Chains A and B, each alone.
Chain A
Amino acid sequence: MKSPFSATWMELKGIMLSETSQVSEMTFFIPEYFKDAAKKMKSGLMFVKLVNPCSGEGTIYLFNMCLQQLFEIKVFKEKHHSWFINQSVQSGGLLHFATPIDPLFLLLHYLRKADKEGKFQPLDQVVVDDMFPNCILLLKLPELEKLLQHVTEEKEIDKKKYYKYSKEKTIKWLEKKVNQIVAALKTNHVNVSARVQATAFFSGDQASSDKEEDYICYAHGLVSDYIPRELSDDLCKYLKLPEPSASLPNPPSKKNNKMTAAQKALAKVDKSGMKSIDSFFAAKNKKKN
């Protein structure tokens, strides 16, 4: 038999398509402490579909019942990669990351939705979802009351707590998040000066003279992946981030007419300094040869 590693592309394809046995392995990075927690538990680690607080669509999360923690799953995916895992080949070269997510982002989605009714409500009436029934897991998280203080006004009647979304508190909470992220960007030496553009023109890292504003823009972009656009826009205004510099070309879109005022405002914002989380996981600026 010919070695598959010296075979040409077409030959290899032929060999592989005729092959029936398949393996499917996924590579995951998960926190080290899961291993210790695993000693105590028989079950309680599960992948569940919950609402994505930014898009409102369904996304897979990992819930650790034992540690009472919620993790998001991010996938690294770039063209032209494959894994060799021991004595097998795995197509795609994907890498999954399970990293902790602040459950308040998800709770915020429900609090904002319930706020349309404009009244104080108990949490179990706020976090309801026909689409994603697993949202009840959110109610089991520890120290919920403490978390909710950041984004809600609350009332206590007959020892039962009632909550109402507060935009003012939420914006202040998000500002703290941004400051926290800015600090981390600095410690991790992340180049925030519009790297997205830079990579298209330069191969190496540019000597950066990053300004404070660049860091804030970048951090705003990161946190915006966890909040709806409306809120992201409000936060942008609150942080006094630069007004549109018209450097971002707005390609005519079919959806243009349906944009809300907030979306239109956001579309005008120069996002060149913003960094979306996705840029960590997918090749966006493909070199066009």
Chain B
Amino acid sequence: MESSDEAAVEKCRIHLRPGTLRDAPPATLHLLPCEVLVSRPAPVGRFFTPAIRQGPDGLEVSFRGRKLRGEEVVVPPGLVGYVMEEKGEGLVGKGFSEGSSNDNEQGQQELVEPPEALERDFDRFIGATASFSGFTLWGLETIPGPDAKVRGALTWPSLAAAIHAQVPED
């Protein structure tokens, strides 16, 4: 009885392989100001990277004919960026399809968000495939300003530390 309980608990866990955190090679990341609807391999090094120029106000590139401006953003101190992946059947589901395409019912079902993605397919393993200490943040026409939500999110860890630090004893 107890062993089956134990197994049930075990099923609700997704294990992160610690070894992969050590060996993850550095990756180059760009955060684009547009949504590409499907996740898949793309010849970034052939079309995007060679087109990046250093302009007077930061980096410049164009994507689908639109001008992007960007700058390097560093990962908040004390943190490391990792790209996590599950080999084979993907943790985030088999595909991201556009939710509005009614002709593709399968696609509707597969449109998932990460919290749910972490919930499905229990007792599984994921690992880091790459690490990063910064990424290039791109905006349409202009560099995302200080009010950009991404920048706000990056201040979260320091605030979270204050919320969750132990309070002093009386």
- Give A residues with C-beta under 8 Å from B: 3-9, 12-13, 16-17, 19, 21-32, 34-35, 37-39, 41-49, 58-60, 62, 66, 72-97, 99-102, 132-134, 136, 147, 150, 173, 176-177, 180-181, 183-185, 188, 190, 199, 203-205, 222-223, 226, 277, 279-283
Q: Is the CB of B156 within 8 A of A91?
A: no
* Per-position 1/0 for B42-82, Cβ under 8 A of A: 11110110000000000000011100000000011011111
Quick one: which of A7, A17, A21, A283 has the most chain B CB within 10 A? A17
Q: Which of A29, A177, A184, A203 has the most CB of B within 10 A?
A: A29
A280 adjacent to B38 (CB under 8 Å): no
The winner among A89, A95, A100 for most chain B CB atoms within 10 A is A89
| Interface: B1 (CB within 8 A) | no
**Would A136 and B9 count as touching, CB distance under 8 A?**
yes
**Most B C-beta atoms less than 10 A away, residue of A5, A6, A8:** A5
Report yes or no: B149 in contact with A62, Cβ–Cβ below 8 A. Answer: no
Which of A12, A66, A180, A277 has its CB near the most chain B CB atoms (within 10 A)? Answer: A180
Chain B residues with CB under 8 Å of A183's CB are 162
A87 touching B78 by the CB < 8 A rule? no
| A-B interface contact total, Cβ < 8 Å | 292
B28-48 interface code vs A (CB 8 A; 1 in, 0 out): 111111111111111111011
Interface flags, B1-16, vs A, CB<8A=1, else 0:
0000100110011111
Contact A75 B34 (CB under 8 A): no
Are B42 and A84 touching (Cβ within 8 A)?
yes
